[in-house]
Homo-oligomer: A and B are copies of this chain.
């Protein structure tokens, strides 16, 4: 089964490769007779153009890469799902790279741009220095990571989310609200969730209590830390968890410690992936518009690829799910 090329088709049809190329791309003038001869040859040989050769010639791969910390993580897998779906509408294919929050990996994936394997890149992971990104040329958009002034960022309105959650807890009577934070770095707009919490607490003259649990920590370790909150002497009647998985740990521990939700304890999470809302129907959470984030990321990236002008920041609205 050696590969059939355009040349074989041309020979079979008794025409030039140019003509075959013309019918393939529907470009220029082609007589009906020639077209049908070519079509027939294509059919008989069961020919499909070599896309790598095309990519090579056109310096355009119709491929995009998405870098995430890990694709196993409801937020990123949902994001990836929608991004792939959007891209496929325009005939693009999607590569996935798991940075594992390691700069070495991130750098490796970023290289795909320079190697011209992809036409663009969407990064939802940020572990290398800004200066390094400054040196990278190529089409990049970032999702929920501030990289530098050159790279457009798509984010949720994290501040609003933190505000809505905290205000809701207060409005429902909570006074001792703990914020469990994934403690993103300052580069991460997610840190605004905690800032909003602080602002709202201060405005209401309530005491802030922030527990930081690094995002990159292992799941069991994160769970242990959440449990510690329950075993500690800290008094609390509300929890604002920076993401839904942390919230689920809290829900889990609340049950073990016989604290009824929402009567004895109110919990609000963040992210609102379909999966987490599905698995925890009672979960109150700040819903990020993941599908819209995906759409916007793709839209902006495709604009960059087409050398169109884009904004440097897109902030999308969030809302409480109940």
Contact = CB atoms under 8 A, between A and B. Distances in A.
Interface of A: 1, 3, 48-53, 55-56, 59, 61, 63, 65, 70-74, 77-78, 80-81, 84-85, 88, 93-98, 105, 108, 111-112, 114-117, 137, 219-220, 223, 245, 248, 252, 273-275, 278-279, 281
Contacts of A80: 71-72, 77, 96
A95 B60 CA distance: 17
Contacts of A70: 81
Copies in the complex: 2
B84 A3 contact: no
Given A115-B48, A116-B51, A77 B85 contact: no
B78 A72 contact: yes
A96 B98 contact: no
B223 A278 contact: yes
Given A81-B72, A112-B93, A117 B252 contact: no
A218 to B, nearest CB: 10
A112 to B, nearest CB: 7
Contact of A1 (B137, B274, B278): B137
Contacts of A94: 95-97
A34 B50 CA distance: 36
Contacts of A56: 52-53, 55-56
A93 B70 CA distance: 15
A275 B72 contact: yes
A255 to B, nearest CB: 10
A115 B278 contact: no
A71 B71 contact: yes
B245 A279 contact: yes
B111 A48 contact: yes
15 contacts: A1-B137, A51-B115, A51-B117, A52-B52, A52-B116, A55-B56, A56-B56, A63-B117, A71-B80, A71-B81, A72-B80, A77-B80, A88-B108, A220-B278, A223-B281
A95 B63 CA distance: 9
Across the A-B interface, the 7 shortest Cβ-Cβ residue pairs:
A77-B77, A51-B115, A72-B81, A56-B56, A48-B114, A72-B78, A219-B278
A219 B274 contact: yes
Contact of A3 (B50, B61, B95, B116): B116
B84 A97 contact: yes
A213 to B, nearest CB: 14
B93 A117 contact: yes
Nearest to A54: B115
Contacts of A98: 81, 84-85
B49 A115 contact: yes
A99 B108 CA distance: 28
A209 to B, nearest CB: 25
A53 B49 CA distance: 16
Nearest to A117: B51
Given A71-B71, A278-B219, A279-B245, A52 B48 contact: no
Contacts of A48: 111, 114-115
